Amino acid sequence: MAHYDVGFKLRHECPFNALSKQFPSVVLGWWTNYDQDVLEVSGVNPVTTELYETGLQKAIQKMGGSIVRQTLKDSTLQLVISWDGKKYEYSTSRVFMKHGCLVLQPTIHTDGWEWYRIVAFAEKDVKALFKELDGSAEVEIVSKSVDEGTVRENMVVTPSSLLAGLTMNQAEALVLALDSGYYRVPKKSTTEDVATRVGVPRTTYEEHLRKAESKVMLSVAPYIQLHVRKPALKKSRRRE
> pLDDT tens track of the chain, all 240 residues?
788 888 899 999 989 999 999 998 888 999 988 778 999 998 888 788 889 999 999 999 988 899 999 998 767 889 999 988 666 666 788 899 899 998 888 899 988 999 998 999 999 999 999 999 998 899 998 888 887 766 665 555 666 666 667 888 998 999 899 888 899 888 889 999 999 989 999 999 999 999 999 888 877 776 676 555 455 455 544 444
Domain boundaries, the chain: 3-150+223-227, 168-220
The span from the CA of 102 to the CA of 184, in Å, is: 38
- Which CATH architecture describes the domain 168-220? Orthogonal Bundle (1.10)
Residue 236: per-residue pLDDT? 46
Coil, helix or strand for 3? strand
Question: Cα Rg for the chain, rounded, in angstroms?
Answer: 21
Q: What is the DSSP string of 196-221?
A: HHHTS-HHHHHHHHHHHHHHHHHHHH
The span from the CA of 97 to the CA of 94, in Å, is: 5
- State the burial class of residue 112 (Cβ atoms within 10 Å of its Cβ: 0-12, 13-18, 19+): middle
Residue 85: per-residue pLDDT? 65
Which DSSP helix (H) or strand (E) runs through 58? helix 49-62
Q: Is there a contact between 1 and 123 (Cβ–Cβ < 8 Å)?
A: no
- At 58, which amino acid appears? K
232 CB neighbour count, 10 Å cutoff? 16
Closest CA to 10 of 82, 84, 103: 103
Could you report the per-residue pLDDT of 169-184, keeping only the tens digit for each?
A: 998 999 899 888 899 8
Residue 160: per-residue pLDDT? 62
Could you report the per-residue pLDDT of 4-40, keeping only the tens digit for each?
A: 888 899 999 989 999 999 998 888 999 988 778 999 9
Closest CA to 112 of 30, 232, 7, 16: 16
- At 6, which amino acid appears? V
Residue 238: per-residue pLDDT? 44
CB environment 43-59: b (16+ within 10 A), e (fewer):
bbeeeebeebbebbeeb
Q: How many helices (H) and strands (E) does the chain have?
A: 8, 9
* This prediction's pTM: 0.67
